[in-house]
Amino acid sequence: MTTMPSYVHPLPHDGEPLPEAFTYPFRYEPHPLCLRAAAIVQAQAGKLGLTEGKMFGVLVVSTAAPHAATSTLYFLAAYSGQIDGSFAHPWFVPPIVDYLQADSHFQRVQRQIEALGEEVTRRRHSDERRHMEQRLAELMQQRDAAVARAKAVYAEGKAQRDALRRQRVEADSRHHHTDSAATDALIRDSQRQKADIRRARQQYADEIAVAMAELASYDSGTEALMTERHTMSDALQQWLFRQFSLMNARGQRRSLVEVWAEMATTREIPSGTGECCAPKLLQAAYRCGLQPVAMAEFWWGTEPKDGTRSHGRYYPACNRKCRPILAHMLQGLTLQADPAAHYDRVCSPLRVVWEDEWMAIIDKPAGWLSVAGVAEAETSPLRKPLCPNVEAEAHRRWPAIEGCALAHRLDQDTSGLLIVAKRHDVRRRLTMMFEQRQVAKTYMALLDGHPQRLEGRRTLTVSLPLSAVWNDLPRQRIDAEHGAEAITQVELLGYEGTMTRVALHPLTGRTHQLRLHCAADEGLATPIVGDRLYGRVDKRMCLHAMELRFTHPMTGEELHFCAECPF
């Protein structure tokens, strides 16, 4: 190419060795070339006047095969989503679809949707509706007052009638006869007053019915506008997804809808899909005929309150939005191996520690899933090898098991003790025992460093609520506002060189509780060795479910099981 677009920038190259394969986007260490490009982008980001933090990305590209003699290096830069409501920053790559142009189909329909929303709001707070509500309320108050008056008359008459009845009963008992005419008069008087109550209700029934019908009709019109708005919004979103024509290194184009149907494991496409850095960078490179060499993404600016991003730190592509897209867009590129691929190789079988007719205790090796994972598309270059899972193995070993066999789970990377229930009622009782904290668990862990919070003390309680990062599952986060309670007792066992051995006693059972309580700055600020999600990849994650103590759910026997720590 002789003329490059304004968003293609030359990258000084001091002879660093180029990568042999393209970056594995979900786990990587930034290549030195990416770090150099990122420094330039960070200087440029400072000129944007950012009011909030933003994810930025860099893509190192070449004009030919990266190791060819005639190859020249450049880099592209992108930011996730929009900045100040705009995609129009020519120094950065353009969006895959620019739907923010004022005269675009998207904006025209969006204005219609917004107008419908404004009309719904106007109708909900209009004087016309308020008058309808007031008229209905007044009629109901008038009816209630008339009924109350009629009931008061009836109550007063009933008291008088009861007094007269007592007097006549006494008189009749003295004269040995009954005054039937007087009794009939009392009955007629009671019936008349009860009829007055009914008439008081009926007096306003027709007017109230008309007022309620008018209000219902008005609200029905509002609901119809809301339905129309919702339908138009959904249709527009689907139209937008179809406009994303995603390229890959083989020159193939697929719409986002097609890619999602083939590559994704969920049906619904999240809003904003296709607007992250990685897809924008790859699309721009393919459009320009440039060869991707390496990629990295980092957070720049104010850190979000949920603590999921830190200024200047590099992050992998997100799973929820980007994994299905990249499964298509990376086809035709040779990818680096997943640094944690060895986690998915199972080298040892399950070991049954103990069993009886109701349940079994097994020792799960690292690498086994607790339950079956979600299958990925066969054509995906990011596809992981299929992993065995404890649930399926339990059904194979004990065919009579009813339904789900596991009362609790361990992460794939965690080894140790799991309880398998052979009957549904046993599993239900075990599940309740876990929920009621009647199962004592002890984990062994090696930490990647020496936690400052453990200096001078043997024990520490970490209480940090957790919630899911929904756009990057299975990652969890510390969430003081909406998180679920999570409590871990930490026991210092000793130091082993640069590492620290601890026993972890979880009092709750949240997803990734132990991993995040160790890794988070608010916790021990020292991740578990080999934690590929919250720390650094190693031969394995050094977390082992070592002990279980609980009462047998059927016999009442006190049980205690141990599994030797493999690290």
368 within a domain of the structure (yes/no)? yes
In a domain, 334, yes or no: no
Least confident of 17-26, 301-310, 395-404: 301-310
Task: Check pLDDT > 70 for residue 383.
Answer: no
Looking at residue 505, what DSSP letter applies? E
Could you please report the per-residue DSSP string of 241-274?
Answer: HHH-EEE-TTS-EEEHHHHHHHH-SSSSPPTTTT
Q: From CA 245, how far away is CA 256, in angstroms rounded?
A: 7
DSSP state of 476: E
Q: pLDDT by residue (tens digit) across 179-198?
A: 567 667 777 888 888 888 88
Whether residues 473 and 384 fall in one domain:
yes
Q: Within this chain, do residues 272 and 357 fall inside the same structural domain, yes or no?
A: no
Q: Reply yes or no on whether the pLDDT at 75 is more than 80.
A: yes
- Residue 108, domain member (yes or no): no
Residue 362 near residue 390 (C-beta atoms within 8 A): yes
Helix 277-287 to helix 319-329 angle, to the nearest 10 degrees?
A: 20
Q: Which of 329, 355, 386 is where one domain is finished?
A: 329
- Decide if 355 is inside a domain: yes
326 and 335 in contact (C-beta within 8 Å)? no
Determine the straight-line distance between the first and last CA of the chain, rounded to whole angstroms. Answer: 55
The 10s digit of each residue's pLDDT in 456-490 is 999 999 999 999 988 778 889 999 889 999 999 99
State the pLDDT at residue 344.
54
Same domain (yes/no): 311, 440 = no
Please indicate, yes or no, whether residues 234 and 264 belong to a single structural domain of this protein. Answer: no
User: Residues 290-333: pLDDT tens digits?
Assistant: 999 999 999 999 888 766 788 998 999 988 899 999 999 999 99
Least confident of 11-15, 460-464, 552-556: 11-15
pLDDT at 69 over 60: no
Return the minimum-mean-pLDDT range out of 10-19, 239-248, 334-343, 458-467: 334-343
Q: Is residue 541 part of a domain?
A: yes
- Residues 429 and 464 occupy one common structural domain: yes
Residues whose CB falls within 8 Å of the CB of residue 227, separated by 6 or more in sequence, listed in order: none
pLDDT score at 327: 94
Is 106 within the bounds of a domain?
Answer: no
Answer whether 297's CB lies under 8 Å from 279's CB: no
215 shares a domain with 80: no
Q: Is the pLDDT of residue 16 over 90?
A: no
- Cis peptide before 399, with omega less than 30 degrees from 0? no
Q: Is residue 112 part of a domain?
A: no
Contact 469, 319 (CB under 8 A): no
Whether residue 362 is found in the same domain as residue 470: yes
> Where do we find the tokens 């609200």?
219
The pLDDT assigned to 425 comes to: 93
Where do we find the tokens 């393919």?
286
Most confident of 95-109, 466-480, 494-508: 494-508
Can you give the pLDDT at residue 1? 46
Q: What is the number of domains present in the chain? A: 3
Whether residue 224 sits in one domain with residue 307: no
Instruction: Indicate the residue among 329, 353, 376 that finishes a domain.
Output: 329
User: How many degrees, rounded to 5, is the angle at CA 511 between CA 567 and CA 323?
Assistant: 95
What is the phi/psi pair of residue 166, to 5°?
-65, -40
| DSSP type of residue 383 | P
Q: Are 270 and 198 in the same domain?
A: no
448 is a catalytic site residue: no
In this structure, are strands 54-62 and 291-300 parallel, antiparallel, or unpaired?
antiparallel
Do 236 and 248 belong together in one domain?
no
Q: How far is CA 248 from CA 27, 61, 278, 284, 524, in A?
A: 20, 14, 12, 11, 42
| Whether residues 513 and 412 fall in one domain | yes
pLDDT category, 377, cuts 50, 70, 90? Answer: low
The enclosing domain of 433 has a CATH number of 3.30.2350.10
Residue 2 falls within a domain, yes or no?
A: no
Tracing tokens 């705009």 back to the chain, one arrives at: 86
What pLDDT is stored for residue 201 in this prediction?
Answer: 87
Distance between CA 495 and CA 492 in Å, rounded?
Answer: 9
Domain that holds residue 39: 9-97+244-329
Last residue of a domain, one of 272, 306, 329: 329
Distance, CA of 385 to chain centre = 25
Q: Are residues 233 and 306 in the same domain?
A: no
Distance between CA 23 and CA 295 in Å, rounded?
6
Q: Which residue of the set 411, 472, 531, 538 is catalytic?
A: 411
pLDDT reading at 449 higher than 50: yes
Q: Is the dihedral of CA 192, 194, 195, 199 positive or negative?
A: positive
